[in-house]
């Protein structure tokens, strides 16, 4: 497994070694010892979450009070991570990843506390995330998926959205930057 840092501090990719044969494939999607070595700190997951979303669904940006390790186990998704930490040198920047079945990659992404993420489903997607804290609705925030400040090019301008995602504030309203 290769664990790589990205341009956003606290955002890592975990790229497994994949063994394929006519039956399918096998991979280790996570190994605690290698993961903790790359992070430089111990880590414990407190909760695992699994969602299934139909094609053209976009699950909007969330900033939560925990670390998150994301894996698309079925289907193909565009995952986007935005740095929403006010004092970060990459505040307001984003990175994109195509995860899951081909043409996606079977890697995982690690999203540190303070970063925000969203994902779009090209087809039916099973999305799994292991988190370092138990769900607390008071410890989350979110912002508009199509916020012009962030200027993300999504595959569509008319995704399927939850009512919650439709009503989220804009990035600058949620994270004012007085730099």
pLDDT confidence of 92, banded at 50, 70, 90? very high
Those residues with Cβ within 8 angstroms of residue 79's Cβ, 6 or more apart along the chain or in another chain: 70, 72, 96, 97, 98, 99, 109, 117, 118, 119
Which pLDDT belongs to residue 178?
54
* Residues 135 and 62 sit within 8 Å (Cβ to Cβ): no
Q: Which of 32-36, 85-89, 125-129, 137-141 has the lowest mean pLDDT?
A: 137-141
| pTM given for the model | 0.93
> Going from the N-terminus, what domains does the chain have, and what CATH number goes with each?
2-174 (2.60.120.10)
* Residues 125 and 75 sit within 8 Å (Cβ to Cβ): yes
SS3 for 117-144, per residue? Answer: EEEEECCCEEEEEEECCCCCHHHEEEEC
Q: Tell me the average pLDDT across 163-168.
A: 95
* Residues 27 and 18 sit within 8 Å (Cβ to Cβ): yes
Q: Tell me the average pLDDT across 100-126.
A: 95
Tell me how far apart the alpha carbons of residues 84 and 52 are, in angstroms, rounded to a whole number.
26
- Which pLDDT tens digit goes with each residue over 74-87? 999 999 999 999 99
Q: Tell me the average pLDDT across 138-148.
A: 90
């Amino acid at each position: 497994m290769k664990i790589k840092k990205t341009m956003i501090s606290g955002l890592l990719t975990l790229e497994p070694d994949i063994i394929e044969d006519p039956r399918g494939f096998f991979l280790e999607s996570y190994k605690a010892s290698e993961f903790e070595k790359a992070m430089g700190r111990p880590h414990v997951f407190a909760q695992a979450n699994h969602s299934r979303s139909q094609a053209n669904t976009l699950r909007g940006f969330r900033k939560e009070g925990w670390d998150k390790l994301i894996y698309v186990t079925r289907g193909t998704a565009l995952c986007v991570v935005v740095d929403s930490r006010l004092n970060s040198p990459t505040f307001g920047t984003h990175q994109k990843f195509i995860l899951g079945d081909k043409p996606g990659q079977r890697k995982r992404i690690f999203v540190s506390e303070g970063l925000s993420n969203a994902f779009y489903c090209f087809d039916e997607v099973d999305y799994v995330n292991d988190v370092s804290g138990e769900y607390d609705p008071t410890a989350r925030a979110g912002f508009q998926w199509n916020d012009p400040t962030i200027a993300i090019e999504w595959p569509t301008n008319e995704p399927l959205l939850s009512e919650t995602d439709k009503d989220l504030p804009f990035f600058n309203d949620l994270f004012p930057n007085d730099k």
